[in-house]
Amino acid sequence: MRIATWNINSITARLPRLTQWLETAQPDVLCLQELKVSEDGFPRDALAALGYESVVNAGGRWNGVAVLSRVGVEDPAVGLPDAPAYDGVVEARAAAATCGGVRVWSLYVPNGREVGHPHYDYKLEWLAALRATVEQPAAGSAPFAVLGDFNIAPTDEDVWDIAEFDGATHITEREREALSALESAGMKEVHPRPLKYDVAFTYWDYRQLCFPKNKGMRIDLVYGNSAFASAVGDAYVDREARKGKGASDHAPVVVDLEV
């Protein structure tokens, strides 16, 4: 089974590239983030034509996540249990489904904006809710994973130049402690193998030629329980999907399971 995650950065703007990638990469399950579309605007019919059912949590102009599956959808869920609100709104940042016997959550973790900002505290609260959500299925025997844009680089090596991030979010100790909390709950990170470069970055800013210069970050992550992690046969970042005009600023992370 092939499972992938991709911050699409507007499914409307990226739909032709998405459908082409689905036809080429042939994932069985795809977790999408940053849809930037309403529920009514989500292209269910176009994706159904390719054989994919959709579980969608979309709130309009910002955020939005989905799970696409061509191996069935069971027990769909939208919204992280006990997720905190920001400015009185519970944002569209999580969706789940069991697909071909594998339970997956598509996640778009809050950015945090800057250290000390209320959004940073919101990010940490959201991650605490995620930790509580994974605790029970992490200990289970069925394959379970959370995938998506975590807006956290797990180590200093996961950013192109750590000096450029001094005092910024995405690399702070408290954010990384939140990732460690997932691991203490029984989740294991699935590390994509490097292809062209030593580190498999997943995000590159559109500005200042960051992609061709490989000035990137690894913030799109996959965590699975033991049943999931032990079934991983391969994992990689599809850099080709980041190339060319009209690409998302993120690349898909692809995980192949031997199940």
pLDDT tens, the chain, 259 aa long? 999 999 999 999 999 999 999 999 999 999 999 999 999 999 999 999 999 999 999 988 889 999 999 999 999 999 999 999 999 999 999 999 999 999 999 999 999 999 999 999 999 999 999 999 999 999 999 999 999 999 999 999 999 999 999 999 999 999 999 999 999 999 999 999 988 888 899 999 999 999 999 999 999 999 999 999 999 999 999 999 999 999 999 999 999 999 7
Rounded to whole angstroms, the Cα distance separating 66 from 152 reads: 20
Establish whether 249 is an annotated binding residue.
Answer: yes
Among 28, 149, 158, 238, the active-site one is 149
Establish whether 75 is an annotated binding residue.
Answer: no
Supply the pLDDT for residue 195: 83
Establish whether 157 is an annotated binding residue.
Answer: no
Which amino acid, 140? G
250 is catalytic: yes
Q: What are phi and psi of 11, to 5 degrees?
A: -70, -25
Which amino acid, 55? V
For the sheet with 74-78, list strands across it: 74-78, 94-99, 102-108, 144-149, 220-224, 188-189
Supply the pLDDT for residue 197: 85
Rounded to whole angstroms, the Cα distance separating 107 from 199 reads: 22
Among 52, 120, 220, 250, the active-site one is 250
Rounded to whole angstroms, the Cα distance separating 92 from 94 reads: 6
Establish whether 149 is an annotated binding residue.
Answer: yes
Establish whether 45 is an annotated binding residue.
Answer: no
117 is catalytic: no
3-state secondary structure the chain: CEEEEEECCCHHHHHHHHHHHHHHHCCCEEEEECCCCCCCCCCHHHHHCCCCEEEEECCCCCCCEEEEECCCCEEEEECCCCCCCECCECCCCEEEEEECCEEEEEEECCCCCCCCCHHHHHHHHHHHHHHHHHHHHHCCCCCEEEEEECCCCCCHHHECCHHHHCCCCCCCHHHHHHHHHHHHCCCEECCCECCCCCCCCCEECCHHHCCCCCCEECCEEEEECHHHHCCEEEEEECHHHHCCCCCCCECCEEEEECC
Among 108, 120, 203, 223, the active-site one is 108
Which amino acid, 125? E
161 is catalytic: no
Q: Which domains does the chain have, with CATH numbers?
A: 2-257 (3.60.10.10)
The model's pTM is 0.97
Supply the pLDDT for residue 255: 98
CB atoms within 10 A of CB 201: 26
Would you say 83 and 96 are in contact if contact means Cβ atoms under 8 Å apart? no
Establish whether 214 is an annotated binding residue.
Answer: no
